Structure formats: C-alpha cells, structure tokens
Amino acid sequence: MREKLFSDFWSLGDKNRQWDFIARYVKTFDKKVSTNSSTRRQLSKKYYFPIQNEEIQVCKIMFLKTFSISEKIVGNVSKNLAVSPVIPTDQRGLHKNRPHKIAREVIDCIKQHISMFPVVDSHYSRKDSKKKYLESDLSIAKMHRFYLEWAKTQNTISEKAQKATLRQYTDIFNEHFNYSFFKPKKDLCDVCEKFKLATPEEKVLLKTSNEEHLKNKSIARDKKNIDKTRAINDPEVCVAVFDLQKVLITPKSEVSSFYYKRKLATYNFTVYDIGKKIGYCYTWNEREAKRGSSEIATCLLKFMKHKKENGVKDFSFYSDNCGGQNRNRFIFAMWEYAAAKLKVKITHTFLEKGHTQNEGDSVHACIENAQKGKVIYIPAQWVTLISCAKVNGKPYKVIEVSNEEFLDFKPLVNEKQFNWKTADDGTKIKWNSIREITVDYKNPFQLFIKYDLNAADFIKIDINKGHKKQRGRHQPRCEPIKAYNGKLSIEKLKISDLLSLCSMGLIPTAYHDFYKSLQ
C-alpha cells in the first residue's frame, strides 16, 4: 500500500498538485494548551493516508518516509494555508527580472566565439559518443582569455558582452556545447574500473569474467616478455609493438589566432623494436595519404623489408585492438603476403583491452614533451623534431612515406577469389575476436588464428578458393596495387584558414609556398 501511495503521489508530476495533496491529508489544528511556554510550535498536525476511500491516521515519520518528502515541504504548505485557503502556485524559475540571468547578447557572443574553434570527432569512441574535441592544450580559462581579446576588436559587441566573466563563459560552454578537450587514450581499464566500483553483490556476478580478463592480460604480457628475451638473444628474431600516434597538427603555436583556424594533419605511425630498443617513426601528412588499414599495412611491410635485409626471419608483433587499423582482414592479408614474399614467419598478438600499454608509448610521450614550447610551421619540422626528440639513447629513425609509396591491400581480400569467411572446421570467422594470428611462408595461403591465448591449438584458415591443383607456394599471387593516383585534395575551408595565417604574417614568408601548393 505504501508503494502504491508513493507511485500515485509522484505520478502527479506537478508541484502544485502535490501541494494540494499534502494540504488535503495533513490536517492542521491549534495547539492544545501547554504548560511549557517556551515551545515555539503554535500548531498541531495530524497525518493521514487515503486507503480504500478512508483516511487512515499515521505518524509524521510514516507519512514523510512513505512519500519521500521533507518536513520543510509540509511546513511550507501549512504556512500558506494559514494565510489563504488557496495555495499559491510555484513561482520558482518564473521571475521576470532575474538579477543573475545572462543576457541574450552575451550568450550569443560567447557561442559565436566558441564556434570559431575547430573541433574533431573522437578517434577511439566516435561510434559511442557524439562529443567533439578541441585541441588538448586549450582550456576554458584560456578560451575565455582569448574571448576578451577578440571581443575588444569587435565594434558591434556591446560593453556588457565584452566584459563577460569566466563563470558566464563556462556556463555557456557546458550548457550549449558537447565539447571536451582532447586527451590521449586513458590507461584506465573499463572492465577493471567496473569491477572496482561494483557493489559486493555485483562483484559476485562479475568475479568470473574479471578473473578471466586479468588472466588474459597476464598471458599476453608474459608471452611478450618471453619473446623479448628471444629477440635479445637471437638476431634472427624481431619483436615489436606498433601504434598510430594522435594527430600532430600543423602549424602549431601558442598564438591565439592559431586556435581559430583549421590545420593540416600530420600522422606518425610508430613501430618500436623491443629487442634492439629502436623506434621507427613513419610519417606523412593528409595531403599524402589517409590513416586507414592499408596505410598501416604499408608501413609495417616497409619495416619488415628493412629488418629482413638485416637477417631477421621471425617477426612477433604486439598491438592494441583497434579494428579499423590493426585487427582486420587487410592487415591479416598483408601478413600472409609478406610472409610469402620475404620468406619469413609472422605472429601478431593483441594485448588485452584496457591493458595495451607498451614500450612504444614512451616514443609518443617523448615526442609530445619535446614539442612543448616549440613552434611548428610545416610538416617537415615534425620530422626534425621527432629525429631529435630522444636525448639519451638511440635516436628515433624517421621515415617519410610519400603518396606514391602507399599500397592498397584490398585486392588481396577479394571475396570472389579468396575465402575470408569460414575456417577449415566450417565455423564462421570472427575477425574482431581474434587474439593471435600466425602465418608462415612454408604454409602459403594459410592463416592460423586463436580466439583465446590460452588455447592449445590454432584454428586453420585456407584463404585460397582455387582448384586444389593450383594450390601451392608457386601459385601466382594477387599483388597489392597503388593506393593513390595522386596527391589528396584538402578541403577549401582548411586551405583558406591556412593561407589567412600566411597573409596575417603569423607564418613566416619562407613557408608560404608550401601552403600555396596545397591548392
């Protein structure tokens, strides 16, 4: 009965109707004569529940707890009834002259200013979130400082808008924009955090899956450590981790005008040789190529060719689980192609989600630290900065990849010619669930995969659908093709922004030809 009373009360959905309900079932009487003259209570109250067309008297605590309301609400209703038999409507939020309300002209000016900053989608969670990201070295305080400078230059903005406070700027930023400041991928694991924050009852249900998660993390890391020891002791073995760094923007400066302009993207794909402790940075800008799986596969193939020339015959790679770049059929097709062409064995292991931190992360951190306080005007300066970023130890090897060098590996995954759907045991292949894949030139057109790193045996995939007589290591191979027929076009608005920085004199004259060539 109490649950029904609670539901009926809150389903009224209107403060005024709820107050009428309280006024009806809380009876107020004059206080009986008391010998205690010090008491401040002048009225007595009786509380009732409407049950089956009857009013059942209950105590105050029972009444308040059942409807989940405070004594203050009941007291206010009683005070209003003492003044008038009609309870006045709720006036909260209806004031015509709110002293602290932000003026519309101020809101419009701040919104206009915030909209001037270029934003990007999330690189890791664009499917799950509509949030847009500003540059990582921006902050609301810095944007407000830029706003005050910008407002002074606008003759059409009122004095009130020119003096908008940081609090006003922050409120409008949070209320009208789904923006955040871009941060590198966090080290916190969703699975571990969920288990950590769970109640004791929830932890009982999550215990098995959490233990399996931690077990997979340990297996992957232990395997990497074993491979690392092999690579140190055997010159024919190469163990490496790889990842694409967050976008490096060009030009980059602390000058406020730079933050309002769209910029050119420079990409840095890093392969770190764990055994030799050498970082290889493959760089290009958005005029040369995109940053998809074929671009990643091209850089990995170049890395393996370089290592093959130095005598490596066995490769073991580790990476995170990014489906668009690392765990897909185009990368797997490239592994099989490279193994056959270079006469090598390749193993690719995926680290446990949420625990993909590896030695290659230090390369990106070193580059970001080296950039602090420096100005970058053109992509070529990123190459110089990356080359000199590491002060102690072996410097990073920077390889600039040009437009004509990128290969397209999609012909290797032609559905009509190759089998990329079913394994030899007849099961459908779950590409996004693969935890490890192995290819060997001794087994052409065959992939060996695991969905569980703890599994004893591999699942075999024969990707060749041709006639059995045509199968074998001497069968003519499908080759990757050139990915691009020429330089990529840059959006006109971005080119316009970059050229405006040149015309404003914020980019030195020596670099103007580069930006003019983007047209």
* 16-68 pLDDT, tens digit each: 888 888 888 998 887 766 656 555 666 788 999 998 888 999 999 999 999 99
> What's the pLDDT score for residue 456?
85
> What's the pLDDT score for residue 183?
58
Q: What is the largest CA-CA distance in the chain?
A: 112
Nearest to 151 by CA among 114, 113, 117: 113
Is pLDDT at 466 greater than 60 in this prediction?
no
> What's the pLDDT score for residue 38?
55
pTM of the model: 0.70
Alpha-carbon separation of residue 80 from 15, 20, 60, 95, 103 (angstroms): 14, 11, 19, 20, 34
Peptide bond into 251 cis (omega under 30): yes
> What's the pLDDT score for residue 369?
87
> What's the pLDDT score for residue 186?
47
> What's the pLDDT score for residue 460?
94
Give the C-alpha separation, 502 to 496, whole Å.
10
Instruction: Identify which has the larger pLDDT, 393 or 380.
Output: 380
Is pLDDT at 185 greater than 90 in this prediction?
no
> What's the pLDDT score for residue 137?
78
Instruction: Identify which has the larger pLDDT, 79 or 164.
Output: 164
Q: With cut-offs at 50, 70 and 90, classify the pLDDT of residue 438.
A: very high
Pick from 196-210, 318-332, 475-489, 501-515 the range whose average pLDDT is largest: 501-515
Contact, 269 vs 245, CB < 8 A?
A: yes
How many of the other CB atoms lie within 10 Å of CB of 385? 16
Is 341 exposed, middle or buried (CB count within 10 Å of its CB: 0-12, 13-18, 19+)? middle
Q: With cut-offs at 50, 70 and 90, classify the pLDDT of residue 93.
A: low
DSSP string, 102-149: PPHHHHHHHHHHHHTS--EE-SS-TTT---EEE-TT--HHHHHHHHHH
Give the three-class secondary structure for 337. Answer: helix
Residue 327 sits at the vertex; the CA angle it makes with 326 and 332, to the nearest 5 degrees, is 95
Alpha-carbon separation of residue 209 from 444, 497, 516, 517 (angstroms): 37, 50, 56, 55
Residue 393 DSSP symbol: S
Instruction: Identify which has the larger pLDDT, 56 or 77.
Output: 56
Instruction: Identify which has the larger pLDDT, 256 or 288.
Output: 288
Q: Mark out the alpha helices in 15-86 (DSSP H runs).
A: 15-25, 60-67, 71-83
Six-digit token string for 458: 């591999």
> What's the pLDDT score for residue 469?
47
Give the C-alpha separation, 512 to 514, whole Å.
5
Give the C-alpha separation, 21 to 15, whole Å.
10
> What's the pLDDT score for residue 461?
93
Q: With cut-offs at 50, 70 and 90, classify the pLDDT of residue 94.
A: low
Percent of the chain with pLDDT over 70: 89
Alpha-carbon separation of residue 325 from 123, 242, 294, 428 (angstroms): 11, 11, 8, 22
Nearest to 158 by CA among 104, 86, 200, 211: 104
Contact, 164 vs 142, CB < 8 A?
A: no
Six-digit token string for 252: 């980059």
Amino acid letter for position 69? I
> What's the pLDDT score for residue 394?
86
Reported as a single tens digit per residue, the pLDDT across 212-247 is 888 889 999 999 999 999 999 999 999 999 999 988
Q: Are strands 132-134 and 179-181 parallel, antiparallel or unpaired?
A: parallel
Question: Among the listed ranges 14-18, 111-115, 169-173, 175-179, which one has the minimum average pLDDT value?
Answer: 14-18
For 43, residues 6+ apart whose C-beta sits below 8 A from its C-beta are 28, 29, 30, 31, 78, 82
Name the phi and psi angles at 422, rounded to 5.
-125, 145
> What's the pLDDT score for residue 126?
47
Give the C-alpha separation, 88 to 83, whole Å.
10
Q: How does the average pLDDT of the chain come out, rounded?
A: 87
Is pLDDT at 181 greater than 90 in this prediction?
no
Read off the pLDDT of each residue in 126-146 and give the average, rounded to a whole number.
79
Any idea which residue has 């209703």 for tokens? 77
> What's the pLDDT score for residue 474?
54
H/E run at residue 381 = helix 379-389
